Amino acid sequence: MCLVLDDVSFAYPGGAVILEGASLTISQGGYYLVRGPSGSGKSTLLRLLCRLEEPQSGRIVYQDTPVSEMEPARLRRTVAYVQQMPTLLKTPVRDNLLLPLQFKANSGLEPPDDGMLNRMLDSFLLDGVTLDAMADSLSVGQAQRICLIRSLLLRPEVLLMDEPTASLDAKSAQVVLDKAAELSRDGMTVVMISHSETTPEGVTDIIRINGRKLEFA
């Protein structure tokens, strides 16, 4: 057991109910694909899992501890969230990659050197991006992969990804999908939203949002 949603209900203020009495168990090391109609709450589910949103009722538990009781910095390091629209500072790529490691909560993690950062860029087909390049000059697809690398540098136990291949060409998208499968095999829990009808290799379960409930397809 890794993440558990226990009778969770959520609605945005003044908006429609997204989840109502939803329960689900996500196992450690699983590779999960989240599917559902547009507007059904796929992104909201990921935001609930990392406590960027709070349920109106019910609870979300990580390894037997309610996420509401976890120190926020520890939760963000443990359960990493890569959103669909990448957010980068208007600073060099290097600074963006190392930004989370500057926070006191992550002081126990050793910052990677330029050699390691360049190898990670190469592994995600970003060999044409230099560490000194300004992040605001990158394409959306490049920025998405920079955000993914930045999250991986924190060595999370759970990786949440919202449409990580949406702005990528087929070759780059496959690299990201292969990496997700590799991380799962190595014990990391991966939960990914995708509108694609194709199920990536290595996916262990499909989570479907159906009528405000969560179910395994």
For residues 112-140, b (16+ Cβ closer than 10 Å) or e, as one string?
A: beeeebbebbeebbbeebeeebebeebee
Looking at residue 1, its pLDDT comes to 66
Separation between Cα atoms, residue 118 and residue 129, nearest integer Å: 9
Beta strand 31-35 with 57-62 is unpaired
Q: List the structure tokens of 88.
A: 């980068």
Looking at residue 217, its pLDDT comes to 84
Give the chain's domains with CATH numbers. Answer: 3-216 (3.40.50.300)
For residues 24, 27, 32, 36, the Cα torsion angle rounded to the nearest 10 degrees is 0
What is the pTM (predicted TM-score) of this model?
Answer: 0.94
pLDDT in tens, the chain (217 residues): 689 999 999 999 988 899 999 999 999 999 999 999 888 899 999 999 999 999 999 999 999 999 999 998 889 889 999 999 999 999 999 999 999 888 776 777 788 999 999 999 999 999 999 999 999 999 999 999 999 999 999 899 999 999 999 899 999 999 999 999 999 999 999 999 988 888 999 999 999 998 899 999 8
For residues 29 and 156, the answer to whether their CB atoms sit within 8 Å is no
Name residue 149's amino acid.
I
